[in-house]
Amino acid sequence: MDRCIGFIGMGNMAMAIAQGFLRAGQVQPAQLYAYAPHPEKLQARAREIGFTPCGSLSELMSAADLHIMCCKPGQIAGILGEIAPRLPGKTLLSVAAGWSYEVYKPYLPPDTRFQFIMPNTPAMTGDGVLLFEDRHTLMEEERLQIMELFRCLGMVRELPSALMGIGGTISGCGPAFIDLLLEAFADAAVKYGLPRALAYELTSQTVLGSARLQLSTGKHPAQLKDEVCSPGGTTILGIDALEKAGLRAACLKAVDAVMQGRR
């Protein structure tokens, strides 16, 4: 990618994306610019990964032609009101939850090229999920280039607008759900004598390996589970305990809570 990229907001998600681009060699630090309302924090993050901090949105809009909206959803309307006159001829990507093509449309000049993307934080290590809404105004060649750029951050998938909410719930909220499970199983390991650091290491690697096994084999998770559960063995005792504790129901309720909160 030979374009200059401007980040509107430089929080954790923006940092994950920027670091992922840099780690993969898709861009150089000199191609990255960012604006955020807290100059000291912005300067600190600039020193950390090498992007150029901008003192205003106007400066950012002048520095780059591809912009990524990474601020909090509640800030977007105000920012669009300020930058809308500068958007014609530029490309705007948005990674803010809930701000789909339909929501953005009234705010954008007609000739703005726009794409809504839902990423997640594992993008920082190249293990992310990047969901592209199927409604957009990018030129086709440009869209393919942008999808290829984001592919260095993980799995890229296109979803219909109606499915972006549930897709984003699974991939965007999912890391926090998995982290809660990691912490819980690590606590159990510590309870029985494992040092804390080793407990996290073993638990995280087990989750990572199990996920990779499912992705590489394409086997149904139930089949993989059955392959570990010997008749009368120890694993099936743990599965029985998880079922009795309502693990499946808890997972469904977590997704229900997020989806209902989006409405």
In tens, the pLDDT along 15-46 reads: 989 998 998 899 999 999 999 999 999 999 99
Res 214: pLDDT: 97
- pLDDT (average), residues 86-97: 92
- pLDDT (average), residues 178-186: 98
How far, in Å, CA of 248 to CA of 117, rounded? Answer: 29
Average model confidence (pLDDT) across the chain: 95
Residue 93: pLDDT over 80: yes
Residue 182: pLDDT over 90: yes
What percent of the chain stands above pLDDT 70?
Answer: 100
All residues at 6 or more sequence positions from 80 whose CB lies less than 8 Å from its CB, including other chains: 104, 107, 108
pLDDT band at 154 (very low <50, low <70, confident <90, very high): very high
The separation between the first and the last C-alpha atoms of the chain, rounded to the nearest angstrom, is 37
95-99, 170-174, 188-192, 245-249: least confident range? 95-99
DSSP state, residue 72: -
Helix (H, G, I), strand (E, B) or coil at 113: strand
What percent of the chain stands above pLDDT 90?
Answer: 89
pLDDT band at 207 (very low <50, low <70, confident <90, very high): very high
209 to 115, 201, 204, 219: CA distances (angstroms): 33, 12, 9, 14
- pLDDT (average), residues 110-117: 93
Angle between helices 247-262 and 234-245 (to 10 degrees): 40
pLDDT band at 203 (very low <50, low <70, confident <90, very high): very high
Whole-prediction pTM: 0.91
86-90, 227-231, 255-259: least confident range? 86-90
The neighbouring-strand residues paired with 116 are: 94
Residue 263: pLDDT over 80: no
φ, ψ dihedrals at 160, nearest 5°: -60, 155
> Helical H runs in 57-195?
57-63, 76-83, 101-104, 140-151, 164-168, 174-191
Whether residue 16 contacts residue 41, with contact meaning beta carbons closer than 8 Å, is answered with no
Single-letter amino acid code for the residue at 152: C
pLDDT band at 234 (very low <50, low <70, confident <90, very high): very high
Res 169: pLDDT: 94
How far, in Å, CA of 208 to CA of 188, rounded? Answer: 19
Angle between helices 12-23 and 39-49 (to 10 degrees): 20
Residue 114: pLDDT over 90: yes
Res 125: pLDDT: 87
Res 98: pLDDT: 85
